[in-house]
């Protein structure tokens, strides 16, 4: 699904990605983990073409993403910070994105699921952080695309919505989709993810299943395993 080869990215003097090689197969849930500033968002934004890499190549569904924009039809992206144009109403925003994608969408069900009906006529600038994140989720899940990229999907959600989100992710997985998630909440990762990609200092430090990670670090739970991973020699 995604092939990344020797990816380098610098922001000024700050070298964020230092040669990332990554192969993500079709189907399944992959969690990209790593401490703050390890390059998770940069990696995701490079795959989306929002950040232009200095070196290296990325291919999505076999297509190189360089000077290409059509491949983004296959991707649903949930940005980390829900930055929406504040002067739009929720309904207008959803209609606009639908108009842009020209695809079949299922926003009705999602709006019901996250109980967004009372907010549809409100402006985005007046919404709370959690509600904004729900709108964000609706926009990300309403199209039927083979690849889902979720950057910190849990921020600001209440427990009920969190459960809905988990169900939603499981359902998408059963439909055979590839899902890429970044999160700092290990409990959430342990529940949904199948495979872990651990980024540290701009390189991939570990890639494998949760079980592999636990046995290699000799830790019983994921949180401690992730905390321990950086102190142990590389596993890749």
Site for another protein, rule CB under 8 A = 11, 45, 48-52, 69-73, 75, 77, 79, 83-86, 97, 100-101
Residue 224 beta carbon to another protein: minimum distance, rounded to whole angstroms: 35
Alpha-carbon span 136 to 134, nearest angstrom? 5
Residue 100 beta carbon to another protein: minimum distance, rounded to whole angstroms: 5
| 30 SS3 class | strand
Residues paired with 197 in a beta bridge: 32, 207
Nearer to another protein, 153 or 206 (CB): 153
Q: Beta-carbon neighbour count of residue 67 at 10 Å? A: 6
Nearer to another protein, 75 or 157 (CB): 75
Q: Is 70 exposed, middle or buried (0-12, 13-18, 19+ CB in 10 A)?
A: exposed
Nearer to another protein, 119 or 205 (CB): 119
CA distances from 46 to 19, 74, 116, 120, 137 (A): 13, 15, 31, 32, 21
Nearer to another protein, 52 or 220 (CB): 52
Residue 67 beta carbon to another protein: minimum distance, rounded to whole angstroms: 8
Alpha-carbon span 148 to 107, nearest angstrom? 16
Find the farthest-apart pair of alpha carbons in the chain and give their distance in angstroms, rounded: 54
- Listed in sequence order, the residues at least 6 apart from 127 whose beta carbon sits closer than 8 Å to its beta carbon are 90, 119, 135
| DSSP state at residue 119 | G
Nearer to another protein, 153 or 226 (CB): 153
Residue 207 beta carbon to another protein: minimum distance, rounded to whole angstroms: 25
Residue 49 beta carbon to another protein: minimum distance, rounded to whole angstroms: 7
Residue 84 beta carbon to another protein: minimum distance, rounded to whole angstroms: 6
Angle at 193 between CA 213 and CA 142, to 5 degrees: 160
Q: Which two tokens stand for residue 186?
A: 């290990």
Nearer to another protein, 60 or 210 (CB): 60
Nearer to another protein, 78 or 213 (CB): 78
Nearest CA to 140 out of 179, 190, 197 is that of: 179
């Amino acid at each position: 699904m995604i092939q990344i080869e020797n990816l380098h990215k610098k922001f000024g003097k700050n070298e964020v990605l230092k040669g990332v090689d990554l192969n993500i197969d079709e189907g399944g849930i992959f969690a990209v983990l790593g401490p703050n500033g390890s390059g998770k968002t940069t990696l995701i934004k490079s795959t989306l073409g929002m950040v232009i890499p200095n070196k290296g190549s990325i291919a999505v569904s076999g297509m190189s993403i360089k000077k290409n924009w059509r491949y983004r039809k296959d991707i649903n992206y949930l940005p980390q910070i829900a930055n929406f144009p504040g002067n739009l109403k929720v309904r207008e925003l959803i209609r606009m994105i639908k108009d842009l994608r020209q695809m079949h969408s299922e926003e009705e069900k999602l709006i019901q699921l996250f109980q967004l009906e009372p907010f549809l006529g409100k402006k985005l600038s007046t919404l709370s952080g959690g509600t904004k994140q729900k709108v964000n989720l609706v926009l990300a899940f309403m199209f039927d695309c083979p690849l889902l990229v979720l950057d910190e999907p849990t921020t600001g959600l209440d427990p009920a919505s969190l459960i809905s989100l988990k169900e939603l992710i499981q359902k998408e997985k059963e439909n055979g989709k590839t899902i890429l998630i970044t999160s700092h909440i290990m409990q959430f990762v342990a529940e949904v993810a199948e495979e872990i990609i651990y980024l540290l200092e701009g390189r991939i430090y570990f890639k494998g299943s949760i079980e592999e990670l636990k046995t290699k670090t000799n830790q019983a739970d994921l949180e401690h395993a992730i905390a321990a991973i950086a102190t142990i020699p590389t596993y890749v």
